[in-house]
Structure 1
Amino acid sequence: MGNRIKQLREEHHMTQIRLSVVLEVSQETISAYESGKHYPSIASLLKLSQIFNVSCDYILGLTEYRYPLQPYSPKEQLLISKWNLLNEYQQNLLSAYLDGLLHNSPSNPQ
């Protein structure tokens, strides 16, 4: 996690002192975060997420995706749940059907 905080701080051209001012902690605390000696509080973690516009999971090293996934609408969730019930052959058929619909759609003249 410390490497992520340092990497993000450097990408945003921030010094440890500047980040400490924004987070309202000491420069020593930022140094401790970056060296792995201490971990940020939940409040600081959330603030770091906002400052660097990345997910908390990314800062914690739980994912390689920087940005949180957008939630799906109820219709999208229903489609995904139905898709997951299909076997691979059925998924391939549906995918081909959708490609045909999109290719031949009046709003999508090719």
Structure 2
Amino acid sequence: RLLDLYFLDDLSLGEIGDRLHITRQAVFDGLRRSVRQLERIETSLGLAQVRQRSDRRRRRIHTRLNTLELAVRRLRGRVAPGVLNRITRAVVAMRRAIE
């Protein structure tokens, strides 16, 4: 309510206090607490968005690693086994790194 009166209705602290029958200081304190709470919520939501982007990237990497593993399997018999083993170990290491 305080935020609406102050930011949307463009009332002064004194006008809000008169309407709500509270002191100007109480209005100021309430606005300050409300703004801080909104900032905390925004910070939390921002972190959630970062997490979502990270999860999407991780899923794309998993998909690409799966594709790479299939391609490596198709190379069996055409490439030296030692080379395939090194590639397979590298793919496994990449998969572990993103988990």
TM-score, normalising length from structure 1?
0.27
Q: Specify which structure has the bigger relative contact order, considering alpha-carbon pairs within 8 angstroms and separated by 6 or more residues.
A: 1
Q: State the structure with more CA Rg.
A: 2
TM-score of the pair, normalised by structure 2: 0.30
